[in-house]
Amino acid sequence: MDRFLFLTVDGLTHGAVYSAFALALVLIWRGTRIVNFAQGVLAVATSYLAYTVTGRSGSYWLGFLAALLAGLVLGAVVERLVMHRVAGAPPLNAVIVALGLVLVVQGVLGMIYGNQYLPFPAPFDRSAMTVGGVPLVSRFDLFVFGTVVLLMIVLALLFTRTAIGLRMRAAAFAPSVARLLGVRVGRMLTLGWALAALVGALAGMLVIPTGLGLHPTAMDTVFVSAFTAVVVGGLDSPAGAVVGGMLVGLVLSYVAGYLGAGTAPLAVLALLVVVLLVRPAGLFSGPQARRV
């Protein structure tokens, strides 16, 4: 039972990060119908910036802030300079461009920082605190969980309580109608990318300290897990992304804990296949229109 509790808490903590990352993917999908395969590498790039800033200033939090700001700027720049040019083109174009971006950014990061794993600090102690005699949760886990919950609340307020959120949703759901109502759709899409990259940067800062360290491919497996979370929850559903992320986190934790870490990737794939077979649009998808 102790082990089960530990694995559940561990799964939820990792799942929270997958949820945040999945949310970033959903933000872009809803606005542009593009699965941003470059999401992971953008997060890695911002983490490298945080690494540099932290190294030079000696302040983790200055690096943390730099990563978030860089995410915001990088997302906007990528949308304006790269993805904007394939908007309206066949979907495969955007996928290929995003994959190309992954290769370019990974290559550039490797050239600047090298291809070895760099130690990435965590702002809080990662050793588990004992609750009722069971080593359960670390301060860093609590920080991760609290940050992701705060992020969810802020995003929910942004989209449901502010005019800019309303405009962003309108631009995503019905761009041509939104334009007729004075919404600057292009700006909203850029803002959506910026916001998604900021969320991705945050997820990177939360998950990289729990892995081997900083590396140009550090977010690849996280991306796969988050992508699975999005498919499980439904590409159009922010709530689905959150639940999907938690589910993937729990599955990974239980399988790694009971069957061995080597089997965890297979479990994620199995989950992906089951959802695609049983409910291809995701667990939280709305009713699908059928043209007759």
Partner 1 sequence: MSDLLEVEGLTAGYHGVPVLHGIDLRVPAGTICAVLGANGAGKTTLLRALSGLIRPSTGRIAFDGADLGDLATERLVRRGIGHVPEGRGVIAELTVEENLMLGGAWRLGWAGVWGAARAGLRRDVAEVYQLFPPLAARRRQPGHQLSGGERQMLALGRALVGRPRLLLLDEPSLGLAPRVVAQTMALLRQLCEQTRLTVLLVEQNVRSALSIADQGVVMSLGRVVAAGDARRLADDADLRHAYLGF
Residue indicated by tokens 């989950």: 271
Question: Binding-site residue total for partner 1 (CB under 8 A)?
Answer: 20
Closest CA to 27 of 226, 199, 243: 199
One residue of 108, 134, 136, 170 binding partner 1 per CB under 8 A: 170
E strand or H helix at 18 = helix 2-32
Nearest CB to partner 1, comparing residues 169 and 215: 169
Which residues 11-40 are close enough to bind partner 1 by CB under 8 A? none
Burial of 209 (0-12, 13-18, 19+ CB in 10 A): buried
Tokens representing residue 209 in the block: 């300290």
Nearest CB to partner 1, comparing residues 56 and 184: 184
Closest CA to 71 of 208, 173, 212, 191: 191
281, 55 contact by CB (below 8 A): no
**Any contact of residue 240 with partner 1 (CB under 8 A)?**
no
One residue of 164, 269, 270, 273 binding partner 1 per CB under 8 A: 164
Min dist. Cβ of residue 187 to partner 1 (A): 9
CA 259, chain centre distance (Å): 26
**Any contact of residue 183 with partner 1 (CB under 8 A)?**
yes
Q: Which stretch binds partner 1 (CB under 8 A): 13-21, 44-52, 56-64, 156-164?
A: 156-164
Nearest CB to partner 1, comparing residues 131 and 177: 177
E strand or H helix at 44 = helix 39-57
Which residues 184-223 are close enough to bind partner 1 by CB under 8 A? 184-185
Which residues 67-96 are close enough to bind partner 1 by CB under 8 A? none
Give the whole-angstrom CA distance, residue 286 versus residue 292: 19
Min dist. Cβ of residue 165 to partner 1 (A): 9
Q: Which stretch binds partner 1 (CB under 8 A): 83-91, 112-120, 176-184, 219-227?
A: 176-184
Min dist. Cβ of residue 284 to partner 1 (A): 14
Give the whole-angstrom CA distance, residue 47 versus residue 216: 10
Tokens representing residue 253 in the block: 């934790």
Interface positions with partner 1 (CB under 8 A): 161-164, 166-167, 169-170, 173-174, 176-185
